[in-house]
Amino acid sequence: MKARGTIVSRRRASAATVSDWRRLKAGDRVEILKHAQVLAAGEVEEVSGSGHVLWLVPAGPSETHLFSKSDGVQVRRG
C-alpha cells in the first residue's frame, strides 16, 4: 500500500505543476521543486516577461529568491 500512496502523491504533484510561469501573479502562493523535493515555498513577487525567471518571497524570514527554469526547477501552486 505504501507504493500506491506514493504514486497517487506524485500524480497530484504533477497535476498542480505550473508549466507556464507567465500565468503566475504577484501574491500567488507556490512551492519550488527540484527532483520531487520542495526547495522553497512562499509568494510570487514577480515573473519575468519571458516566463523563465521567478522571484519568490519565502514564507519564513528571509530575502527574496530568484529561480530560473534553466535550473531545472518546477513551480507548484501552494
5 burial level (CB within 10 Å; 0-12, 13-18, 19+): exposed
The pLDDT assigned to 59 comes to 85
pLDDT at 11 over 50: no
Architecture of domain 2-77: Roll (2.30)
Going from N- to C-terminal start, the domains of the chain cover 2-77
Q: What is the pTM of this model?
A: 0.77
C-alpha to C-alpha distance for 61 and 47, rounded to whole angstroms: 21
pLDDT digits (tens, 9 = 90+) for 16-64: 899 999 999 999 999 999 999 999 999 999 999 999 999 999 988 888 9
pLDDT at 2 over 60: no
Q: Are strands 37-47 and 29-34 parallel, antiparallel or unpaired?
A: antiparallel
74 in Cβ contact with 32 (< 8 Å)? yes
Cell of residue 28, nine digits: 500567488
Q: Indicate the pLDDT class of residue 5, thresholds 50, 70 and 90.
A: low
